[in-house]
Chain A
Amino acid sequence: MKAKQGVVDFLNDILTNELTAINQYFVQAKMCENWGYERLHHKLRDLSTDEMKDAEHLVEHILYLEGVPNLQRLGTVQVGENVQEHLQLALDLERNQVSTLTQAIAHCARVEDFTTRNILEEMVRDEEGHVNWVETQLEAIKQIGLEHYLSEQLRD
Protein backbone atom coordinates (compact mmCIF):
# COMPACT_ATOMS: atom_id res chain seq x y z
CA MET A 1 0.00 0.00 0.00
CA LYS A 2 1.34 3.42 -0.94
CA ALA A 3 2.02 5.74 1.98
CA LYS A 4 0.45 9.16 2.41
CA GLN A 5 2.71 12.23 2.09
CA GLY A 6 5.38 12.46 4.80
CA VAL A 7 4.37 9.33 6.72
CA VAL A 8 7.42 7.25 5.77
CA ASP A 9 9.75 10.13 6.69
CA PHE A 10 8.20 10.28 10.15
CA LEU A 11 8.41 6.49 10.51
CA ASN A 12 12.09 6.61 9.58
CA ASP A 13 12.74 9.38 12.14
CA ILE A 14 11.08 7.23 14.80
CA LEU A 15 13.08 4.21 13.60
CA THR A 16 16.32 6.20 13.98
CA ASN A 17 15.36 7.01 17.57
CA GLU A 18 14.53 3.35 18.26
CA LEU A 19 17.84 2.14 16.82
CA THR A 20 19.68 4.71 18.92
CA ALA A 21 17.73 3.61 22.01
CA ILE A 22 18.51 -0.09 21.43
CA ASN A 23 22.25 0.68 21.49
CA GLN A 24 22.10 3.22 24.29
CA TYR A 25 20.16 0.95 26.65
CA PHE A 26 22.29 -2.04 25.71
CA VAL A 27 25.59 -0.38 26.54
CA GLN A 28 24.11 1.12 29.72
CA ALA A 29 22.81 -2.32 30.74
CA LYS A 30 26.19 -3.91 30.20
CA MET A 31 27.99 -1.15 32.12
CA CYS A 32 25.59 -1.68 35.04
CA GLU A 33 26.27 -5.42 34.89
CA ASN A 34 29.97 -4.69 35.00
CA TRP A 35 29.48 -2.50 38.08
CA GLY A 36 27.47 -5.25 39.78
CA TYR A 37 24.03 -3.62 39.52
CA GLU A 38 22.17 -6.76 38.47
CA ARG A 39 18.70 -5.30 38.88
CA LEU A 40 19.38 -2.29 36.68
CA HIS A 41 21.21 -4.50 34.20
CA HIS A 42 18.12 -6.61 33.64
CA LYS A 43 15.76 -3.66 33.51
CA LEU A 44 17.88 -1.75 30.99
CA ARG A 45 18.41 -4.86 28.89
CA ASP A 46 14.64 -5.37 28.80
CA LEU A 47 14.19 -1.76 27.69
CA SER A 48 16.69 -2.38 24.89
CA THR A 49 14.69 -5.44 23.82
CA ASP A 50 11.43 -3.45 23.94
CA GLU A 51 12.93 -0.87 21.59
CA MET A 52 14.10 -3.62 19.27
CA LYS A 53 10.57 -5.00 19.03
CA ASP A 54 9.36 -1.49 18.19
CA ALA A 55 12.05 -1.21 15.53
CA GLU A 56 10.94 -4.51 14.01
CA HIS A 57 7.36 -3.33 13.90
CA LEU A 58 8.41 -0.04 12.27
CA VAL A 59 10.55 -1.73 9.61
CA GLU A 60 7.65 -4.07 8.74
CA HIS A 61 5.23 -1.18 8.51
CA ILE A 62 7.55 0.98 6.37
CA LEU A 63 7.94 -1.94 3.94
CA TYR A 64 4.17 -2.45 3.94
CA LEU A 65 3.82 1.21 2.95
CA GLU A 66 6.32 0.61 0.10
CA GLY A 67 8.98 2.79 1.71
CA VAL A 68 12.63 2.06 2.43
CA PRO A 69 13.45 1.54 6.12
CA ASN A 70 16.59 3.51 6.90
CA LEU A 71 18.67 1.32 9.20
CA GLN A 72 21.80 3.23 8.30
CA ARG A 73 21.03 6.34 10.27
CA LEU A 74 21.70 6.45 14.01
CA GLY A 75 21.35 9.26 16.54
CA THR A 76 23.99 10.08 19.15
CA VAL A 77 24.35 7.19 21.58
CA GLN A 78 24.61 9.02 24.91
CA VAL A 79 26.56 7.09 27.50
CA GLY A 80 27.03 8.20 31.08
CA GLU A 81 29.93 7.50 33.42
CA ASN A 82 27.68 6.45 36.31
CA VAL A 83 24.15 5.22 37.01
CA GLN A 84 22.66 8.64 37.60
CA GLU A 85 23.98 10.00 34.31
CA HIS A 86 22.68 6.90 32.53
CA LEU A 87 19.20 7.54 33.90
CA GLN A 88 19.25 11.23 33.01
CA LEU A 89 20.39 10.46 29.47
CA ALA A 90 17.70 7.78 29.20
CA LEU A 91 15.13 10.38 30.16
CA ASP A 92 16.45 12.71 27.46
CA LEU A 93 16.17 9.95 24.91
CA GLU A 94 12.63 8.93 25.87
CA ARG A 95 11.29 12.48 26.01
CA ASN A 96 12.72 13.10 22.57
CA GLN A 97 11.05 9.94 21.26
CA VAL A 98 7.68 10.81 22.82
CA SER A 99 7.84 14.24 21.18
CA THR A 100 8.65 12.76 17.73
CA LEU A 101 5.86 10.20 18.13
CA THR A 102 3.35 12.85 19.12
CA GLN A 103 4.18 14.94 16.05
CA ALA A 104 3.95 11.83 13.85
CA ILE A 105 0.55 10.89 15.31
CA ALA A 106 -0.78 14.40 14.63
CA HIS A 107 0.56 14.19 11.07
CA CYS A 108 -1.09 10.80 10.48
CA ALA A 109 -4.41 12.23 11.64
CA ARG A 110 -4.01 15.18 9.23
CA VAL A 111 -3.32 12.95 6.21
CA GLU A 112 -5.88 10.39 7.41
CA ASP A 113 -3.55 7.42 7.83
CA PHE A 114 -5.34 5.81 10.75
CA THR A 115 -3.55 2.45 10.59
CA THR A 116 -0.16 4.08 11.15
CA ARG A 117 -1.67 6.34 13.75
CA ASN A 118 -2.91 3.32 15.74
CA ILE A 119 0.51 1.67 15.65
CA LEU A 120 2.19 4.87 16.82
CA GLU A 121 -0.35 5.44 19.57
CA GLU A 122 0.47 2.03 20.99
CA MET A 123 4.16 2.86 20.77
CA VAL A 124 3.82 6.22 22.52
CA ARG A 125 2.01 4.50 25.40
CA ASP A 126 5.02 2.20 25.86
CA GLU A 127 7.47 5.10 25.65
CA GLU A 128 5.49 7.08 28.21
CA GLY A 129 5.75 4.04 30.44
CA HIS A 130 9.52 4.19 30.00
CA VAL A 131 9.60 7.92 30.82
CA ASN A 132 7.58 7.17 33.94
CA TRP A 133 9.97 4.40 35.00
CA VAL A 134 13.04 6.63 34.60
CA GLU A 135 11.35 9.52 36.43
CA THR A 136 10.48 7.17 39.28
CA GLN A 137 14.13 6.08 39.55
CA LEU A 138 15.37 9.67 39.62
CA GLU A 139 12.77 10.60 42.22
CA ALA A 140 13.76 7.59 44.35
CA ILE A 141 17.40 8.71 44.19
CA LYS A 142 16.32 12.18 45.28
CA GLN A 143 14.36 10.80 48.23
CA ILE A 144 16.53 7.97 49.54
CA GLY A 145 19.91 9.10 48.24
CA LEU A 146 22.11 7.62 45.53
CA GLU A 147 23.91 5.16 47.82
CA HIS A 148 20.71 3.60 49.15
CA TYR A 149 19.29 3.43 45.67
CA LEU A 150 22.42 1.75 44.29
CA SER A 151 22.59 -0.79 47.12
CA GLU A 152 19.06 -1.86 46.13
CA GLN A 153 20.28 -2.49 42.58
CA LEU A 154 23.01 -4.97 43.53
CA ARG A 155 20.63 -7.90 43.73
CA ASP A 156 18.04 -8.74 41.15
Chain B
Amino acid sequence: MYVCLCKGLTEADVQRLGRLGSTAPEVLITVLGLDEDDCCGRCARNIDRLVDLATGQRTRIAPKPVA
Protein backbone atom coordinates (compact mmCIF):
# COMPACT_ATOMS: atom_id res chain seq x y z
CA MET B 1 0.00 0.00 0.00
CA TYR B 2 0.95 3.65 -0.20
CA VAL B 3 2.58 4.86 3.01
CA CYS B 4 2.58 8.51 1.96
CA LEU B 5 0.16 9.98 -0.57
CA CYS B 6 1.76 13.44 -0.60
CA LYS B 7 5.02 11.95 -1.84
CA GLY B 8 3.52 8.89 -3.56
CA LEU B 9 5.66 6.47 -1.54
CA THR B 10 4.91 2.77 -1.23
CA GLU B 11 5.96 0.15 1.31
CA ALA B 12 8.51 -1.12 -1.22
CA ASP B 13 10.16 2.33 -1.44
CA VAL B 14 10.74 2.37 2.32
CA GLN B 15 12.05 -1.20 2.32
CA ARG B 16 14.48 -0.33 -0.48
CA LEU B 17 15.82 2.61 1.54
CA GLY B 18 16.09 0.40 4.59
CA ARG B 19 18.26 -2.06 2.71
CA LEU B 20 20.51 0.84 1.73
CA GLY B 21 20.95 1.68 5.40
CA SER B 22 18.32 4.36 6.12
CA THR B 23 16.58 2.95 9.17
CA ALA B 24 16.67 5.69 11.83
CA PRO B 25 13.45 7.75 12.10
CA GLU B 26 15.13 11.12 11.50
CA VAL B 27 17.10 9.75 8.55
CA LEU B 28 13.95 8.31 6.95
CA ILE B 29 12.08 11.59 7.43
CA THR B 30 14.88 13.55 5.73
CA VAL B 31 15.58 11.07 2.93
CA LEU B 32 11.88 10.61 2.09
CA GLY B 33 11.26 14.35 2.40
CA LEU B 34 8.49 13.94 4.97
CA ASP B 35 9.49 17.22 6.63
CA GLU B 36 9.11 19.22 3.42
CA ASP B 37 6.31 21.71 2.79
CA ASP B 38 4.54 19.56 0.22
CA CYS B 39 4.05 16.72 2.72
CA CYS B 40 1.18 16.97 5.20
CA GLY B 41 3.20 15.14 7.85
CA ARG B 42 0.60 12.51 8.72
CA CYS B 43 2.88 9.63 7.74
CA ALA B 44 5.71 11.05 9.86
CA ARG B 45 3.37 10.85 12.86
CA ASN B 46 3.47 7.07 12.47
CA ILE B 47 7.17 6.96 11.70
CA ASP B 48 7.63 3.83 13.84
CA ARG B 49 5.69 1.85 11.22
CA LEU B 50 8.07 3.05 8.53
CA VAL B 51 11.09 2.28 10.73
CA ASP B 52 9.76 -1.27 11.19
CA LEU B 53 9.41 -1.61 7.43
CA ALA B 54 12.92 -0.26 6.81
CA THR B 55 14.52 -2.54 9.40
CA GLY B 56 12.52 -5.53 8.17
CA GLN B 57 10.75 -6.02 11.52
CA ARG B 58 7.54 -6.09 9.55
CA THR B 59 7.08 -6.89 5.90
CA ARG B 60 3.93 -4.88 5.32
CA ILE B 61 1.66 -2.21 6.77
CA ALA B 62 -1.39 -3.22 4.77
CA PRO B 63 -3.61 -5.88 6.36
CA LYS B 64 -2.66 -9.49 5.61
CA PRO B 65 -4.02 -10.90 2.35
CA VAL B 66 -6.91 -13.29 2.89
CA ALA B 67 -6.42 -15.47 -0.15
Chain B residues with a Cβ closer than 8 Å to the other chain, count: 12
* Residue B1 at the chain A interface, CB threshold 8 Å: yes
A138 to B63, CA, bound (A): 12
What is the count of residue pairs linking A and B with beta-carbon distances less than 8 angstroms? Answer: 40
List which B10-34 residues lie within 8 A (CB) of chain A.
10
Knowing A76-B42, A142-B67, A146-B67, the reply to whether A88 touches B62 (Cβ < 8 A) is yes
Whether B62 lies near A85 (C-beta < 8 A) is yes
* Residue A52 at the chain B interface, CB threshold 8 Å: no
Proximity bits, A60-91, B CB within 8 Å = 1, else 0: 00000000000000001111110011001101
Whether B1 lies near A80 (C-beta < 8 A) is yes
Chain B residues lying within 8 Å of A128, measured Cβ to Cβ, are none
Q: Tell me which of A76, A77, A92, A138 has the highest count of chain B C-beta atoms within 10 A of its own C-beta.
A: A76
Whether B65 lies near A88 (C-beta < 8 A) is yes
Knowing A88-B62, A88-B63, A142-B67, the reply to whether A79 touches B42 (Cβ < 8 A) is no
Whether B63 lies near A91 (C-beta < 8 A) is yes
Chain B residues lying within 8 Å of A84, measured Cβ to Cβ, are 65-67
Residue of B nearest to A149 (CB): B67
Q: Can you show 8 pairs from A to B with CB atoms below 8 A apart? A: A76-B42, A78-B62, A79-B2, A81-B2, A81-B10, A84-B65, A91-B63, A141-B67
| B residues lining the A interface (CB < 8 Å) | 1-2, 5, 10, 42, 46, 62-67
